[in-house]
Amino acid sequence: MQLVNILENDFDFKVNNLSTVHGGSINSAYLIDTTKGNYFLKVNDTHKYPQLFEKEANGLKTLQETSTFYIPKVIGYGNNEESQYLLLEWIEEGKPEKNTWQNFGEKLAFMHKQSEKSFGFAEDNYLGTYIQQNTLNKNWGEFYGLHRIMPMIKLIYQQGKIDTNTVKAAENFCKELNNIFPVEQPALLHGDLWSGNFIITKSGDAALIDPAIYYGHREMDIAMSKLFGGFSPEFYAAYNNTYVLEKGWEKRLPYAQLYPLLFHAWAFGGNYVTSCKQIVDQFVV
| Residue 25: pLDDT over 90 | no
At 209-219, the pLDDT tens digits run: 999 999 999 99
Mean of pLDDT values over 252-280 = 97
The 10 Å Cβ neighbour count of residue 285 is 6
- Where does 100-283 sit in CATH, by number? 3.90.1200.10
CB distance 217 to 140 below 8 Å: yes
User: What's the confidence (pLDDT) of residue 5?
Assistant: 87
| Residue 26: pLDDT over 80 | yes
What is the model's pTM? 0.95
Mean of pLDDT values over 195-219 = 96
User: What's the confidence (pLDDT) of residue 231?
Assistant: 96
Nearest one of 12, 60, 70 to 37, comparing CA atoms: 12
CA dihedral sign, ordered 223, 123, 81, 9: negative
Mean of pLDDT values over 82-90 = 94
User: H/E element holding 167?
Assistant: helix 164-175
| Residue 46: pLDDT over 70 | yes
Nearest one of 83, 120, 103, 133 to 215, comparing CA atoms: 120
Catalytically active residues, by annotation: 192
User: What's the confidence (pLDDT) of residue 24?
Assistant: 64
Mean of pLDDT values over 218-241 = 97
Class of domain 2-89: alpha beta
| Amino acid at site 25 | S
At 129-186, the pLDDT tens digits run: 999 999 999 999 999 999 999 999 999 999 999 999 999 999 999 999 999 999 999 9
Nearest one of 24, 259, 22 to 128, comparing CA atoms: 24
Mean of pLDDT values over 250-275 = 97
| Residue 3: pLDDT over 90 | no
Residue 108 to residue 111: CA distance in whole angstroms: 5
Mean of pLDDT values over 123-128 = 97
pLDDT band at 82 (very low <50, low <70, confident <90, very high): confident
Nearest one of 282, 154, 144, 273 to 219, comparing CA atoms: 144
| Amino acid at site 224 | M
pLDDT band at 221 (very low <50, low <70, confident <90, very high): very high
User: How far is the first Cα of the chain from the last one, in angstroms, to the nearest whole number?
Assistant: 58
User: What's the confidence (pLDDT) of residue 1?
Assistant: 63
- For the chain, give every residue range classified as CATH 3.30.200.20: 2-89
Average pLDDT, whole number, for the chain?
95
pLDDT band at 88 (very low <50, low <70, confident <90, very high): very high
